[in-house]
Every structure is written in structure tokens, then in C-alpha cells.
Amino acid sequence: MVFDKQTIVGKYEDQFKVKDMKNKHIFHDIYTRVGDPEELRGFIVELLQDSDWKTSINELTKFEDEEMEPIFRGGRLKPIRSIIKAFKQIKKGPKYPWVWKLFFLIGAGFLGLYLYALMVPNNWNMNLILEVTPVWFILALIVYSIKETVSLAMWVKISGVYDINDGNADVRIVLAADADKKDKEAFDKLEEDMSEIYSVLNRKYVPRKKPTKTEIVKVLKPKKKQPELSLMKTMKDIDQQIATLNKRFINKEISEETYKELKNELEKRKTKAETVLDLLSI
């Protein structure tokens, strides 16, 4: 049923939860201070493209909700969040090694049979043998040309706070990468690409004054009650609204189009709350 399916937003947002990214084959964390966070996002995309990675997700989340602003100092500090996903494929040896070898051996057998028939008088159908022999070699070549591919994926998440007065942002860059198969060659390629990207980011951004986790958390405005509790309550309220929305859709009180639109908006609000909660817990 429609209400049991995640929207497109919900499906890919789950991939960028830090606890899930930590379970990937490679995981890196960088805390730094940058100028324009959009420049950082563009720079990372260029790095990926230079290493032949193709970007499938490249999104900036804007925080316009008034309920989020009280957490930050007088609206001067704005939470920022960008997510990037890229992929590439590497080709290895033949996908069906035993099949092409078998076809080749059969072809070699027919060739040997043809040569034997030329030397020993017999009544075999020489034309048939001559026609069949190259077919097996062609089949072997076709199967040999089918290479095994391994898909690689990389996830990048940028979270932080942007000071609209001085134009700087304290950010956390989370990098993760994995392959769809446990393959040494694929993992070696992942580690090579990730090492290069991580090194470039460190050279370009980390030499500036590198803020600690504590300094980043300090930009959050203290409240009488912890902001984490407020955000968790917001997320719980959103979950309840989604549950109510599902019931209304089941009871045919709203159209499928309206249902999808409202659920998409609720999931976006929840994502924003989760991002700010992530900032508070770093």
C-alpha cells in the first residue's frame, strides 16, 4: 500500500544517518572552519568528479523553520546541511571464467579433431567440423569479454552552523564509502580514492584554526531546558502527525496526491530536526 512506502526523500535520507555511515567499510570525520559552505560542497563534488565518481545526490537543506531558530543565538547562527552521494564501477576479470574456458576447450577439441581427420583417411563430415569449430572460439571470446563489475558508493554529509555576521561556518564533514561486494580490489580502490579526497580536504581546510567539538557545540544557545529534549519532542510530534496522516489516507479522507505532498513536508521537517540534533550531539 502507498502509505507503507517511504517517499523518495525518506529513502535516501536514511543513508546519511551518521550511525549507519559508521558501519561502512571506510569512515572519516573532519571538524573544521570554512568560509562559504556552498564553496565547500562544490569543491567536494569537483574532487569526486576528478576521480571519475558520478554524483547521484547533491542537496542542500535550508532551515527556515521558526521552531529551529530559538536553539541558536538570536537567529544570527544558521544551521547548514549538505548531502552528497557518488558512485563508480570498476571492471575486473571475466564474469564467467569457467564458461569461456569450457567453450575454448570444446573449440580446441573440434580443431584437433579436424586436424586428425586430415591425416587419417575416414568418412567424417569435414565441412561440418570446419563450420562448428570457429563457433566455439567465438562463443569463448564473447563470454570472456563479459567482465565482472563491482559498484562503489561514497557518502558525504556536511553539518554545521553558519555565522551570517562574519561569514564563517563551523562544520563537521562525514565521509563514508563502501562496495556492493566484499572484494579486495574494490576495497583497495575505495581506500585509494578516499585517502586522496581526505588528504586534499585536510590540506585545504584543516590548516585554518580547527574548532574542536566543544567549540562547535558552544555556538548553540543554552536554554533552561536542554534543546535536545525540545527537538526529540518535535520529532515525536512529527511521527504522530505522520501516523494520523496515514490513517486519514486509509480512510480516504484525503487524496493520494495530497497525502504524498503532506508526508513529504513532514519528513523534511523531521530531517531538519535530526540534523540539528546531530549538531548538538557531536
Dihedral angle sign, alpha carbons of residues 19, 20, 23, 28: negative
Below-70 pLDDT ranges, the chain: 1-13, 61-77, 93, 121-125, 207-231, 275-282
Residue type, 133: T
Per the CB < 8 A criterion, the answer to whether 60 and 272 are in contact is no
pLDDT score at 7: 47
Residue 219: the pLDDT is 47
SS3 156: strand
Dihedrals phi, psi of 62, to nearest 5 degrees: -100, 135
231-257 pLDDT, tens digit each = 677 778 888 888 888 888 888 888 888
Give the integer Cα–Cα distance in Å for 257 and 269: 19
Asked if 175 and 30 touch (Cβ cutoff 8 Å), the reply is: yes
